Amino acid sequence: MGKGREKEIIICICGMAGSGKSTVARRIAEHYGLKYCSGGDALKAIAMERGYNAQEQGWWESEEGIQFLKERMENPDFDKMVDEKLIEMAGEGGVVLDSWTMPWLLDRGFKVWLEASEEIRAKRVASRDGLPIEEAIKMIKEKEQRTKAIYERLYGFMLGEDMEPFDLIIDVNLLDADEVFQILRMAIDNLVIRGKQRDPHSQVASNLT
């Protein structure tokens, strides 16, 4: 990447819980020498300030995480505060944003959606957090129902349903973390770094055979 070129780059990576967005966002940031900013981590920091024990892996799918979601539904200032900070970080450039809102709130940047079925995502969350698959499905459904309601009320978009902002949709159902990283890296090299012409809202299929 040319000197100073990285400062122009804004990459937004989005996907529902268990899609692998945080994992690949961190790897992409490290690979290109960009800052990594997570909306979820920022919200966790606010939760901890309010007395929640939000440090454990899989906290969002826990009873405490759901309780904080209820609190966010009653007080939208938490989300607005985080989103304002992420917009500020995007303005500085050279950043990978792991966020559920930035694809809709930013008018620039390369925006990626990772598509995965509820079953696949639940299996990944269950494996990650040591949960029975039935409990993982229940937690994911409740979390996503409340999260969608928060963003629809605040900004008017439907998370997971409105794909209009995205430049690239990757079906990750049959892909492991390394394969998702390699596909996204190639897309960024060609569409962002080299700036090749692309069809908007292109989709990368998961079937590699």
Angle between helices 63-74 and 77-92 (to 10 degrees): 90
The answer on pLDDT for 170 being more than 70 is: yes
CA–CA separation, 134 and 57 (whole Å): 18
Per-residue pLDDT band at 184 (split at 50, 70, 90): very high
pLDDT of 35 > 90? The answer is: yes
User: Checking phi first, is residue 169 left (phi over 0); if not, alpha (psi -120 to 50) or beta?
Assistant: beta
Distance CA 98, CA 27 (A): 11
95-98 β-sheet, strand order: 35-38, 95-98, 10-15, 110-115, 168-171, 202-204
Under the banding of pLDDT at 50, 70 and 90, the label for residue 7 is low
Residue 195 confidence (pLDDT) above 90 = no
Q: Which residues pair with 170 in a beta bridge?
A: 114, 204
pLDDT tier at 5, thresholds 50, 70, 90: low
CB 27 within 8 A of CB 181: yes
Residue 47 has pLDDT above 60, yes or no: yes
Rounded CA-CA distance 168/78 in Å is: 29
Helix residue spans in 33-117 (DSSP H): 39-49, 63-74, 77-92, 102-105
- Look at residue 188 and tell me whether its pLDDT is greater than 60: yes
Please choose, from the candidates 69, 71, 73, the residue with its C-alpha nearest in 3D space to the C-alpha of residue 139.
69
Lowest-pLDDT range of 29-43, 45-59, 182-196: 45-59
Q: What is the mean pLDDT of residues 147-165?
A: 94
The rounded distance, in Å, linking the Cα atoms of 127 and 110 is: 30
Greater confidence, 186 or 4? Answer: 186
Where in the chain are the domains? 1-6+45-94+116-162, 163-209
